[in-house]
Amino acid sequence: MSTAKPRWTERVLPRFFLQWRSQWVGPAVADMSPFDYINEQSGLRFLIAGAWVFCPETTEYRGCVLLSERFNAENVDTWLEHFDGSVGDVEAMVNQTNLNDAFGIVDADEIDDEDVAQLALAIGECWQGVISTRYPDRDITVTVSGDEDGSYGPTVTFSSRKPTGT
């Protein structure tokens, strides 16, 4: 599941949604969408909070573009020294977001691993667009990855570089 520029093109509806939809009857059931689920579950407040995941705040520091929630100047300074000033390597390290760590309080039996993998791809695609738009003078690379056995889970990160000649 690793790609430099993730695309969420082969979407599959989440298992929990399909289970929820299967309890309804009538001809309109096939047309029920995740919007119906969100409305039925009073989920708008969670969707609004989720916007911060898909469209995160960023901070610029010492040539790096960083997720604001992960930014710590001392930590970035340490990584800059470790990576001999390589901005892209520092960004990839500091911006690394593991979904199992981020959402560790969720009961793993309630959510299908493939649904979480699709979430990582969706986050990656959104980050690619959002961060590229915010920083048009940089080449943004978003990476979505995960362990082969799924033990560590999906991870999303990004790095940038200024194109040669700018």
Nearest in space to 156 (alpha carbons), one of 5, 13, 10? 5
User: Maximum distance among all alpha carbons in the chain?
Assistant: 63
Give the count of domains, the chain.
1
- Nearest-angstrom CA–CA distance, 9 and 1: 13
Across 109-115, average pLDDT: 76
pLDDT, position 5? 45
| Confidence band for 1, pLDDT divided at 50, 70 and 90 | very low
Q: What is the pLDDT of residues 53-96, one digit of tens each?
A: 999 999 999 999 999 999 999 999 999 999 999 999 999 999 99
pTM for the complete prediction? 0.81
- Nearest-angstrom CA–CA distance, 115 and 150: 12
Structural domain containing residue 42: 15-161
Q: Is residue 10 part of a domain?
A: no
Q: Is residue 166 part of a domain?
A: no
Higher pLDDT residue, 112 or 82? 82
Alpha helices in 55-112 (DSSP H): 73-82, 87-94, 99-102
Lowest mean pLDDT among 68-72, 97-101, 106-110, 155-159: 106-110
Q: Is residue 58 part of a domain?
A: yes
- Nearest-angstrom CA–CA distance, 159 and 166: 17
Q: In this model, does residue 23 exceed pLDDT 50?
A: yes
Q: Is residue 118 part of a domain?
A: yes
